[in-house]
């Protein structure tokens, strides 16, 4: 399964619009989901930095 950064952007916007929870302020579950997205972004960035230009990987 390939997840692109734009997919994370879309998910984050969906969460922040309040579609994930109905109560305000944001629930703990929504905040955990947002933190997980941030962690995924950091992991993707780290993996991209580790790749060599000759690596045939499509991220």
Flag whether 19 is in a domain: yes
3-state secondary structure of 13: helix
Q: Which two tokens stand for residue 36?
A: 């997980």
Question: How confident is the model at residue 43, as a pLDDT?
Answer: 87
Flag whether 14 is in a domain: yes
Domain count, the chain: 1
The reported pTM is 0.50
Flag whether 9 is in a domain: yes
Say which residue, 58 or 14, is predicted with more confidence: 14
Question: How confident is the model at residue 58, as a pLDDT?
Answer: 61
Distance between CA atoms of residues 49 and 53, nearest Å: 10
Domain that holds residue 24: 5-48
Say which residue, 18 or 9, is predicted with more confidence: 9
- pLDDT tens, position by position, 11-57: 777 776 765 555 566 677 777 888 888 888 888 888 888 876 665 65
Using the CB atoms, write b or e for 4-25: b if 16+ within 10 Å.
eeeebeebeeebeeeeeeeeee
């Amino acid at each position: 399964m390939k997840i692109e950064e734009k997919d994370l952007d879309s998910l984050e916007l969906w969460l922040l619009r309040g579609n994930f929870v109905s109560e305000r302020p944001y629930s703990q579950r929504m905040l955990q989901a947002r933190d997980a997205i941030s962690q995924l972004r950091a992991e993707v960035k780290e993996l991209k930095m580790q790749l060599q230009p000759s690596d045939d990987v499509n991220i």
